[in-house]
Amino acid sequence: MMRVLAFPFIVAMLSLLAVNARAELLIQITEGRTDAVPIAVVPFAGAGDVPENVSDIVRADLHRSGQFKTLSPKDMLSRPTSKEGLSYRDFRVLNQEYVVIGTIKPTGTGAYEVGYALHDVARGKELLSETYRPPESQLRDVAHAISDRIYEQLTGIPGAFSTKILYVTHNRGAERPYQLQYADADGARVKTILRSREPIMSPSWSPDGTKIAYVSFEQNGLPKIYVHNLGSAERRVVAQFKGINGAPSWSPDGQKLALTLSKGGNPDIYSLNLNNGDIEQLTDHYGIDTEPRWMPDGEHLVFTSSRSGGPQIYQLNVDDKSVRRVSFEGAYNARPEVTPDGRYLVYVHRRNGSFNVGVQDLQRGTFDIVTQTNMDESPSVAPNGSMIIYGTQHRGTGVLQAVSIDGRVKVELPSKEGEVREPAWSPFL
């Protein structure tokens, strides 16, 4: 909470965003890099009556990534809105490395023209300049697109500001306590997909971002796997076998779901062809096999198995069904995720009774814990591989937190209502 006070402007601004958007996710950075790059995002000209403050959104995006130290407008010596009015010296004396300026004006047809430019202060030159013409409903999307472009220009990595987070909330005492929701990566524009009296679990995005899969116990308290089209809101049951139907995970080509079924007498990993409904059993061991995730090559899966006693991470070759163990530290390793480049495994590791998120470098063979919270679960990796969002507990309530893949940046997402858990970061949309 002390760190929140250090950024009163950001907190106030985020609260404003929350009120406007009726967001239930509030996002605050609690620990950024000490070598974060100083950047000044100058308030855009003409922002007065525009329903979304584009430059505020851009500033918040860059700040929230933990890679940038954003200058507060009240500390700016001048607020240029065009190249002609820009004095690099005004920003050099404030130790800014980059400055972003822009304009926004209505086009008279319900749309807006948004122009921005990114300048390198030390070299005194413009790096990037673009214009967008969105309808009013897409102003936030344009703001995030601008953040993505600036982020990529300066880090070489595509930004993930235009993505969404899917998650489960639980409000004890509500008539339908379990909800499935998604929001923008900055917590705005929360949408509820499903409300239920029975549990909802394991939400998962299709690779093209148009569909999600999840487990719902809504039918008579029995678990079924649903595939839900976000655009049309249509959904269908794809698995309702006897026993467990769980842990759906989309193949990279979007044609199959790996899932856990216990219809054979024991929880094993199966592959379901979404086009024709065929299922293929992939593991066949008397231990518990669950929590499958495809590797980016589409030929391997990683999963949790208790075949050596306690849960550990294993890798399966989908073709010949061969299995080899991948995690070797400690007695409890479960719920693996894979970074988009296939290089890192992210999973839950128990040490001295504490459950944390760890990152295993498959290339170098190293393993590091990246969280200091306790009771951590359900990690999900951003599509640019930069951040991990996960579920944890804060003062006994389920909340989401995020941490950079190297553990240096921590972002807190305190819950405003009930408990929040099981985050799933969308692909690039």
Partner 1 sequence: MRSFINPLFAVLLAGLLAACSSTPTEEDTSATDTMPTDSQSSPAEPVQRPAPAKPDTSNIPVTADNFHNHPSNYDGTTDTKVIYFAFDSNTVPAAAFETLRAHASYLKDNPNAKVRLEGHADERGTREYNVALSERRSEAVQKFLRVQGVSSSQVEVVAYGEEKPAAFGHSEMDWAKNRRAVLNYTAGRP
Member of 378, 384, 386, 404 binding partner 1 (CB under 8 A): 378
Part in contact with partner 1 (CB under 8 A); list of ranges 58-66, 121-129, 214-222, 224-232:
214-222
Q: Which residues contact 239 (CB under 8 A, 6 or more apart)?
A: 224, 225, 245, 248, 257, 259, 261, 272
Q: Is 237 in the site for partner 1 (CB under 8 A)?
A: no
Q: Which residue lies nearer to partner 1 by CB, 66 or 391?
A: 391
Q: Are 378 and 390 in contact (CB under 8 A)?
A: yes
Residue 274 C-beta: closest distance to partner 1, Å: 20
Residue 341, both tokens: 């480049």
Q: Is 225 in the site for partner 1 (CB under 8 A)?
A: no
C-beta contacts of 274-277 below 8 A and 24+ residues apart: 274/227, 274/238, 277/238
Q: Which residue lies nearer to partner 1 by CB, 122 or 222?
A: 222
Q: Are 182 and 168 in contact (CB under 8 A)?
A: no
Say how many residues touch partner 1, by CB under 8 A.
33
Q: Is 172 in the site for partner 1 (CB under 8 A)?
A: yes
Part in contact with partner 1 (CB under 8 A); list of ranges 33-41, 205-213, 314-322, 374-382:
374-382
Q: Is 244 in the site for partner 1 (CB under 8 A)?
A: yes
Q: Are 414 and 370 in contact (CB under 8 A)?
A: no
Half-sphere exposure of 40 (CA within 13 A, CB side): 29
Q: Which residues contact 173 (CB under 8 A, 6 or more apart)?
A: none
Residue 267 C-beta: closest distance to partner 1, Å: 4
Interface pattern 108-137 for partner 1 (x via CB under 8 A): ------------------------------
Residue 371 C-beta: closest distance to partner 1, Å: 14
Q: Which residue lies nearer to partner 1 by CB, 7 or 303?
A: 303
Q: Is 230 in the site for partner 1 (CB under 8 A)?
A: no
Residue 54, both tokens: 């584009």
C-beta contacts of 361-365 below 8 A and 24+ residues apart: 362/326
Q: Is 334 in the site for partner 1 (CB under 8 A)?
A: yes
SS3 of residue 153 by DSSP: helix
In a 10 Å sphere around its CB, with 0-12 CB exposed, 13-18 middle and 19+ buried, how is residue 369 labelled? Answer: middle
**Binding to partner 1 in span 292-311, by CB under 8 A:** 304, 306, 311
Q: Which residue lies nearer to partner 1 by CB, 61 or 291?
A: 291
Q: Are 121 and 96 in contact (CB under 8 A)?
A: yes
Q: Is 183 in the site for partner 1 (CB under 8 A)?
A: no
Q: Is 393 in the site for partner 1 (CB under 8 A)?
A: yes
Q: Is 18 in the site for partner 1 (CB under 8 A)?
A: no
Member of 288, 323, 388, 424 binding partner 1 (CB under 8 A): 288
Q: Are 193 and 180 in contact (CB under 8 A)?
A: yes
Part in contact with partner 1 (CB under 8 A); list of ranges 155-163, 187-195, 203-211, 347-355:
347-355
Q: Which residue lies nearer to partner 1 by CB, 172 or 364?
A: 172
Member of 330, 377, 394, 428 binding partner 1 (CB under 8 A): 377
Member of 179, 260, 415, 426 binding partner 1 (CB under 8 A): 260
Q: Which residue lies nearer to partner 1 by CB, 267 or 385?
A: 267
Q: Which residues contact 31 (CB under 8 A, 6 or more apart)?
A: 3, 66, 408, 409, 410
**C-alpha to C-alpha distance for 406 and 408, rounded to whole angstroms:** 6
In a 10 Å sphere around its CB, with 0-12 CB exposed, 13-18 middle and 19+ buried, how is residue 390 labelled? Answer: buried
Residues that bind partner 1 in the complex, under the rule CB under 8 A: 172, 199, 201-202, 217, 221-223, 243-244, 246-247, 260, 262, 267, 288, 290-291, 304, 306, 311, 332, 334-335, 348, 350, 355, 375, 377-378, 393, 396, 422
